[in-house]
Structure 1
Amino acid sequence: MENGLAHEDSAFINFRRYARDPKEHGYRWVDIKRLRFSAESMDDGELHAALIGHEQFRNDYAGGGVLSDGTRHGPYWLRLIAPDLYKSISQERAVQILREWVDPLWDVPTELETDLQREVFARVDAADGIYYLGELGDEAMHDWGGVHDSFHEFVLIDRAAGQVTLLVAADD
């Protein structure tokens, strides 16, 4: 168990797989990483710190995958991300952000909606705590951090399941 968290599994939803036309929403995706923790072991701030320190967090989400010695996280320098940058939000607000990002004007294919419901929205619904990483500003962006058009990051804490989920929804 690294930093009190054990990587359980991951899922990746690539919208291109579902699009009728690859140009239609073809560069949107959701990356889900689930990590196990001992339910009574840490408060939310400690869970955030453990997650930030975990190898699975070292991902630039630009095709390189998880890098054990990585210095980037999404569009940001890893060293500039701290637990207090994650703000608690309601389930309703999390769903609103995600639904607006999915694009309410797009007729979402049934198979994609089913996968999003199972992998994303059911986890948001089950979470005891939902935290959102807002914009960190240009000074936090790494040297090629502008590759993402949209970057939404959530930390979902489900104490009953002893699970923390890192959910990144982005397009590039």
Structure 2
Amino acid sequence: MENQLTHEVSAFIDFRNYKFQDSRSHGYRWVDIKHLRIPAESGDAQELLAALIGHEQFRDDYAGGGVVPEGLRHGPYWLRLVTSDVYEAISREKSAQIVRGWVKQFGDVPCRLEVSLQREVFDRLAAADHIYYLSGLGDEAIHDWGRVHEDFHDFVLIDRSAGRMTLLVVADD
């Protein structure tokens, strides 16, 4: 199914583009969103997750290099250790709670950023049929320079009515 996933569009929300009252409150924080079209006759969630992991858009170290089609890393992790079974199904509420906690860990965010996050992140979490969260990876999964990320949260949203799968990464370094 890997070749049946079609990358549609990506979005990037860079917290540095917004003015915070407290300069400590943003560091280098960002949200990366990749939308992929799923086939109408797609398999179950595990098959979709496996297809996503096999897709070139998943080969991104999120450290400035972008997608590397032959890459060996996904965020801070060795790609070979990321499998569909390390993603856990979580609720819309839990996923929003994780993201909101990360967003607000240093206090309130500017209104313009809140509007962007609502449209690009929270509305998509609310619309997803299923949400999966990358978890269960231990220290042995961290690649040679993977600790550049202080926080790294990886969600996969499946919205069958829209025919879309979204890879949502919120992180900082």
Q: TM-score, normalised by structure 2?
A: 0.95
Instruction: Return the offset for 1:105.
Output: 5.0
2:128: which partner in 1? Answer: 127
2:52: which partner in 1? Answer: 51
Between 122-131 and 20-29, the greater mean CA deviation after superposition: 20-29
Q: What residue identity is the alignment partner of 1:120?
A: V
Q: Once the two structures are superposed, what CA deviation does each residue of 1:63-113 show, in whole Å capped at 9, x if it has no partner? A: 000001100000000011000100000000001000100015512111100
Structure 1 gaps, min length 5:
none
1:108: which partner in 2? Answer: 109
Task: Show the 5 A alignment for 1:1-172.
Answer: 2-20=2-20, 22-103=23-104, 105-172=106-173
Alpha-carbon separation, structure 2, partners of 1:73 and 1:12: 17
Assess if the C-alpha contact under 8 Å between 2:129 and 2:157 holds in 1. yes
Alpha-carbon separation, structure 2, partners of 1:83 and 1:135: 11
Partner SS for 1:3: helix
The runs of at least 4 consecutive aligned structure 1 residues that moved more than 2 Å come to: 19-24
Instruction: Return the offset for 1:3.
Output: 2.4
Q: What residue identity is the alignment partner of 1:34?
A: H
Q: What residue identity is the alignment partner of 2:3?
A: N
Q: Once the two structures are superposed, what CA deviation does each residue of 1:8-30 show, in whole Å capped at 9, x if it has no partner? A: 00000011111336543131100
Q: TM-score, normalised by structure 1?
A: 0.95
Alpha-carbon separation, structure 1, partners of 2:69 and 2:90: 30
Assess if the C-alpha contact under 8 Å between 2:32 and 2:168 holds in 1. yes
Partner SS for 1:61: coil
Q: What residue identity is the alignment partner of 1:134?
A: S
Q: What residue identity is the alignment partner of 2:100?
A: R
Partner SS for 2:65: coil
**TM-align CA RMSD:** 1.4
Alpha-carbon separation, structure 1, partners of 2:172 and 2:132: 20
Between 112-121 and 129-138, the greater mean CA deviation after superposition: 129-138
Structure 2 gaps, min length 5:
none
Assess if the C-alpha contact under 8 Å between 2:58 and 2:67 holds in 1. yes
Equivalenced residues, count: 172
